[in-house]
A and B are shown apart, each in its own frame.
Chain A
């Protein structure tokens, strides 16, 4: 090991044998962790391997573990059979609804943070909307969308996803804005900043991490959402989860192609995983006032 980490003060006074035992136990823990992790991620690893297997290798029993003749053809074929459209549609719907959530949510969050008590009724009402399982409103949405000709439209799905994510976005941003000392705003008022400059010069930069977090979460939820897409869209709008499900269940599936689509669907999330665990740990931790 090239990195030197200064040992805890208490350790230096321990006898050599105990230090050795402590080191050994750490090594054992790491080994256990790696094994558990490997087993834990097996299903996803299998998905990854499947995506690189040519058609002939998919249907062998017992299956080959590593692809013998690894291929990338599944990715291009997966794209061609509808994965491409799925990615496009998912991106369109997720990003537009995320932007809408932030645009509608930020002012509301600011008002909530500065004018209402932290755990007040209004906040709870907003958040309880988020707790509702999607199966409850979906029938109402279906009937409404039939009436308004929003069935199977991008607009319709964007509206629903915005509705789905807005409560959480408002809440997260409000919590974040609450942590920004009011002094900064007062300083800006004293400095003579009009309200739009107050937001632009002071509040937005200071809440950028919060905006990013809320935006990422809204994006992930919209990207992964299935039930609304299943019920509220038909042939015209096909998001990635819907594409995957319908190809798998209703067409002659080529698992390799579907695996490739699945991998593409989860790849962006893998990148965000590290960021997410930090965010989650922090948001569930007590007394983590600092940003």
Chain B
């Protein structure tokens, strides 16, 4: 087990594709670390460089302070679980699990003990003599995890290990993986495009986009205090509503327009309105949005409010996700299941001040968090180093 430090990592493919741009972060010993991002964000490249399958174009990687860029995966003692085709198809589960041990020249007896140990840990004893083709996807991934863990790696790399499984199984394996990682204390990195996977399993998460690091933090931090509009929209079960209010005027009240739709704005937005553009980028998670029948919205100050029509209402069981088209903006709201909205029904949308995020109109950085307080200058410049 080891702590892993990356600093100034760049990866170019063929001089044209800059897949990873100047990434630096540290994974603590025993930590479960998530690399999250949409496809093409460079997260897999980072993982492959950690594993030793690829070399960074520039920058350094060190395990426990020792530089490893020139070392092979075996020298680094890393293990990896792949998205699919993870098992050697011509070998049984037992042969698959014992293969890394065989390579390392362990005796038959040693191999047998270790395989039995890890097999019982992962509950795959009954599968041990099957081949990959005789196992379900979930079983295959279990065996692949066993193969990765059997040699007690310094670093466990998980490349979308459960992305290909069906929903229920995925949920179960999420929990299992988390418990397993805790129990073994193996430093682990998981690459995923699914925020839920990252949130539920890991200790800390790095959000990437276009090869750039966006934010590193715990799930809570990133959820509550996303650094920019991209992270805000990407992170979470439901995407954050982010939309531009233009034509902002001071009098008689602070108000603007969303397309042709007039929008009432709370005062807290005022300092963030672009001096030139007279517009502001605002956001709110669906849980912070309330929807009322047209004209029934309570007149309470300190809220953003506008009118629109229901585009669609989706029944989620314990809640309804209402999508409202209001001017140019599409706003989703999580409402209680008591009232059924009809399609095209006129509604009023209200976002309370304490649920409102404000982003920089130009670079999309977060200027104000929903917690209420505006971001201070020091917060904004805080770095992960």
Q: Is B199 an interface residue (CB 8 A)?
A: no
A186-B80, A186-B82, A192-B74 are contacts. A206–B104 as well, Cβ < 8 Å? no
Query: Which residues of the partner chain A approach B53 to less than 8 Å between Cβ atoms?
Result: 186, 189-190
Q: How far is the CA of A202 from the CA of B73 in the complex (A)?
A: 17
Interface mask (B50-62 → A, CB under 8 Å = 1, otherwise 0): 0111000000000
Question: Which candidate, B85-93, B266-274, B275-283, B341-349, is the interface stretch facing chain A?
Answer: B85-93
> Nearest-CB distance from A273 to chain B (Å)?
27
A191 touches B86 (CB 8 A): no
Q: Is A187 an interface residue (CB 8 A)?
A: yes
Q: How far is the CA of A202 from the CA of B79 in the complex (A)?
A: 17
B51 touches A190 (CB 8 A): yes
Q: Residue B79 contacts which of A184, A190, A205 (CB distance < 8 angstroms)?
A: A190
> Nearest-CB distance from B275 to chain A (Å)?
53
Q: How far is the CA of A181 from the CA of B84 in the complex (A)?
A: 9
Q: Residue A183 contacts which of B82, B90, B103, B147 (CB distance < 8 angstroms)?
A: B82
Q: Is B12 an interface residue (CB 8 A)?
A: no
B80 touches A190 (CB 8 A): yes
> Nearest-CB distance from A223 to chain B (Å)?
30
Q: How far is the CA of A186 from the CA of B83 in the complex (A)?
A: 12
Q: How far is the CA of A201 from the CA of B103 in the complex (A)?
A: 10
B72 touches A189 (CB 8 A): yes
Q: Is B327 an interface residue (CB 8 A)?
A: no
Q: Residue A192 contacts which of B73, B85, B86, B90 (CB distance < 8 angstroms)?
A: B73
> Which chain B residue has the least Cβ–Cβ distance from A201?
B99
A192 touches B104 (CB 8 A): yes
What's the dominant secondary structure at chain A's contact region?
A: helix
> Nearest-CB distance from A23 to chain B (Å)?
36
B103 touches A191 (CB 8 A): yes
Q: Is B100 an interface residue (CB 8 A)?
A: yes
Q: Residue B88 contacts which of A187, A190, A197 (CB distance < 8 angstroms)?
A: A187
Interface mask (A37-75 → B, CB under 8 Å = 1, otherwise 0): 000000000000000000000000000000000000000
B99 touches A191 (CB 8 A): yes
Q: Is A92 an interface residue (CB 8 A)?
A: no
Interface mask (A176-189 → B, CB under 8 Å = 1, otherwise 0): 00000101101111
Query: Which residues of the partner chain A approach B86 to less than 8 Å between Cβ atoms?
Result: 183, 187
Q: How far is the CA of A205 from the CA of B80 in the complex (A)?
A: 22
Number of A-B contacts (CB under 8 A): 55
> Which chain A residue has the least Cβ–Cβ distance from B87?
A187
B74 touches A184 (CB 8 A): no
Query: Which residues of the partner chain B approach A184 to less than 8 Å between Cβ atoms?
Result: 85, 88-89
Interface mask (B29-58 → A, CB under 8 Å = 1, otherwise 0): 000000000000000000000011100000
Q: How far is the CA of A192 from the CA of B80 in the complex (A)?
A: 11
Q: How far is the CA of A34 from the CA of B316 in the complex (A)?
A: 62
Q: How far is the CA of A22 from the CA of B369 in the complex (A)?
A: 72
> Nearest-CB distance from B152 to chain A (Å)?
13
Query: Which residues of the partner chain A approach B82 to less than 8 Å between Cβ atoms?
Result: 183, 186-187
Q: How far is the CA of A188 from the CA of B80 in the complex (A)?
A: 10
Q: Is B291 an interface residue (CB 8 A)?
A: no
A202 touches B103 (CB 8 A): no
Q: Is B78 an interface residue (CB 8 A)?
A: yes
Q: Is A193 an interface residue (CB 8 A)?
A: yes
Query: Which residues of the partner chain A approach B83 to less than 8 Å between Cβ atoms?
Result: 183
Q: How far is the CA of A187 from the CA of B72 in the complex (A)?
A: 13
Q: How far is the CA of A206 from the CA of B82 in the complex (A)?
A: 18
> Nearest-CB distance from B13 to chain A (Å)?
14
Interface residues of B in 106-120 (CB under 8 A from A): none
Query: Which residues of the partner chain B approach A190 to less than 8 Å between Cβ atoms?
Result: 51-53, 73-74, 78-80, 100, 157
Q: How far is the CA of A205 from the CA of B99 in the complex (A)?
A: 14
Query: Which residues of the partner chain A approach B79 to less than 8 Å between Cβ atoms?
Result: 190
> Nearest-CB distance from A187 to chain B (Å)?
7
> Nearest-CB distance from B88 to chain A (Å)?
6
A202 touches B80 (CB 8 A): no
A183 touches B84 (CB 8 A): yes
Query: Which residues of the partner chain A approach B72 to less than 8 Å between Cβ atoms?
Result: 189, 192
Residue among A181, A192, A202 having the largest count of chain B Cβ atoms under 10 Å: A192
Residue among A186, A190, A193, A197 having the largest count of chain B Cβ atoms under 10 Å: A190
For this complex, 9 residue pairs linking A to B, each with C-beta atoms less than 8 Å apart, are A183-B85, A184-B88, A187-B86, A190-B78, A191-B103, A191-B147, A192-B72, A193-B103, A206-B89
- B residues contacting A by CB (< 8 A) are 51-53, 72-74, 78-80, 82-86, 88-90, 99-100, 103-104, 147, 157
Known: A186-B80, A188-B88, A191-B147. 8 other contacts (CB 8 A): A181-B84, A183-B86, A186-B82, A190-B78, A190-B79, A191-B74, A192-B100, A201-B99
A-B pairs, 7 with minimum CB distance: A192-B74, A191-B100, A181-B85, A183-B85, A205-B90, A190-B73, A190-B80
